Structures are given as structure tokens and as C-alpha cells.
Amino acid sequence: MPSPLYVGALFPLFSSLKYLDTPTAALLAFHEINANPTILPDYTLILVTSPDGGLIDTDCNRNTAMIKLLNQTSDPQYQPMVGILGAGCSSASMGAAAISAMNKIPQISQSSTSSTLSDIKNYPYVHPHTPGTPLLL
């Protein structure tokens, strides 16, 4: 049986329609990765969801993102957490960055545009990635 690898996830679901495709893309990517036996053999990527199975909304709020990610990273059922996807909006991503740094978990912020997040000294575990930005691994 494959070992689980958890990825924390935060999305600005209801603040703007422009972000609604991100959760779908993430779920499709996880499905494709898990279905391919040559990618991460012996592991299954699992996107962390809310207790009711829904996606976790930050409403583009720094404090909301921080609290919701803290809940995810401190829950033993989501270990090992190997990455964080989110939080979409720059302000929410900055809040989540404090938790990702505290836990030393890399964070990809899929649509944050603030140049502040590119400051590796203040945000060492964050990689803001918007379309057209090279993804560094």
C-alpha cells in the first residue's frame, strides 16, 4: 500500500471568480501524479481538505490563512505534510508563510503577485508562482 504524502491547501474560493480554476487544476494534477506508477512510486499525494471534505477557503485574509494552515499542520492525521499549495492572494499567502516557515514546509503560492513574497530572507519557504514565472525546484 502506498504511503501518503500530504499537501496543505488554501484557496481564495469566494473572494473572486478568477481563482475558481485553481482547486480543479490541483485535484487533476494530483490524480494524474497518483495514477502514474513512474511518478512518486510507493507514495500517494493527498490534498488536505476541510473536515467535511470541501476545499479550505482563506477569503484572501492573512489571519484566516494563518489559522487554517496552523490547524492543518498541527493535525497528526496530515503527517507527513510535504508541501503547501496556496494561499492564492498575496495577503493570505503572507499569513500562511509564517506557518510554512515555522514547520519548514515549502509553500507554492499559485497566484500571489506581491514582490514582497519574493524576499527569501523574510519568506524562505515561499515560492510565489504566477503564470509566466519560472518554477524553481
**CATH number of the domain residue 28 falls in:** 3.40.50.2300
pLDDT tens across 44-92, in order? 999 998 777 777 888 889 999 999 999 999 999 999 999 999 887 888 8
Determine, yes or no, domain membership for 23: yes
How many domains, the chain? 1
Determine, yes or no, domain membership for 110: yes
* pTM score: 0.85
Query: Quick check: 135 pLDDT over 70?
Result: no
* Residues 114 and 128: beta-carbon distance below 8 Å: yes
Determine, yes or no, domain membership for 53: yes
Determine, yes or no, domain membership for 136: no
pLDDT at residue 38, rounded to an integer: 96
Query: Quick check: 7 pLDDT over 90?
Result: yes
pLDDT at residue 18, rounded to an integer: 54
> What is the mean pLDDT of the segment spanning 102-121?
86
Rounded Cα gap, residues 119 and 14, in angstroms: 28
Rounded Cα gap, residues 91 and 77, in angstroms: 27
**Residue 124: what residue type?**
P
pLDDT at residue 46, rounded to an integer: 94
* Residues 128 and 113: beta-carbon distance below 8 Å: yes
pLDDT tens across 84-106, in order? 998 878 888 999 999 999 999 99
Q: What is the DSSP letter of 7?
A: E
Rounded Cα gap, residues 92 and 46, in angstroms: 22
Determine, yes or no, domain membership for 133: no
pLDDT at residue 131, rounded to an integer: 57
Determine, yes or no, domain membership for 135: no
Residue 122's domain spans which residues? 3-128
Write out the three cell numbers for 14: 469566494
Residues in the chain: 137
